[in-house]
Amino acid sequence: MSTTELQSTEHLLDVTERLTRCWDQRDIEGTLRYYTEDVQYSEPGAGVKIGSREKLRNYLKKYFQEWDSRWTIHEHFRLEGQNGLVVFWDMEVWRHGSTERLMTKGMDLLMVRGEQISRDTVYYDRMQLKSLLVRADK
């Protein structure tokens, strides 16, 4: 067992919700503030695997240039004996310049270290976004 002190579930959810608001605002620096330098960020369904805050910065720049989204966390569960949560969410997502918006569901597995997230694994069905994945200019 780690010597790391367990944080309250409320604290873990608060950090997660603050991070989510930064994603909603497409705030790169605000978003990055909530991730550790050695963050492990991944989206297995999209083939995304990132192993540092600086690499995540590059990913966010591209993501925020192409996409906009609004997240709503509707359920969360604490990982027993760890500073981690599984959160289930709904997301409205659209590509910049498009009028088409989609709703999708997914979940994140988050590990929190203090006020920052050290691991964020995002699971969702990429096929739900198929119509948006075709570039608007094609």
pTM attached to this predicted model: 0.87
Please name every residue paired with 72 in a beta bridge, in sequence order, or none if there are none: 90
Residues 9 and 87: their CA atoms lie apart, in Å, by: 12
Question: What is the per-residue pLDDT across 80-90, written as a single tens digit (0 to 9) for each?
Answer: 999 999 999 99
Q: Can you tell me the mean pLDDT for 101-127?
A: 92
The pLDDT of residue 19 is above 90: yes
pLDDT attached to residue 138: 46
Closest CA to 75 of 66, 83, 85: 85
Domain ranges of the chain: 9-133
CATH architecture, domain 9-133? Roll (3.10)
- Alpha carbons within 13 angstroms on the beta-carbon side of residue 86 total 6
**Cβ atoms of 32 and 117 closer than 8 Å:** no
CA dist 93 and 60 (Å) reads 15
Quote the pLDDT of residue 37. Answer: 98
Report the 3 state secondary structure along 92-132: EEEECCCCCEEEEEEEEEEEEECCEEEEEEEEECHHHHHHH
* Dihedrals phi, psi of 100, to nearest 5 degrees: -80, 125
Distance between CA atoms of residues 88 and 86, nearest Å = 7
The 3-state DSSP class for residue 22 equals helix
Q: What is the mean pLDDT of residues 113-119?
A: 97
What's the rounded mean pLDDT across residues 100-115?
Answer: 94
- Residues 41-88: tens digit of each pLDDT: 999 988 999 999 999 999 999 999 988 999 999 999 999 999 999 999
Position 4 confidence tier, pLDDT thresholds 50, 70, 90: confident
What average pLDDT does the segment 10-34 reach? 97
* Closest-CA residue to 53 (of 119, 122, 123): 119
Continuous segment of H or E residues that includes residue 77: strand 67-78
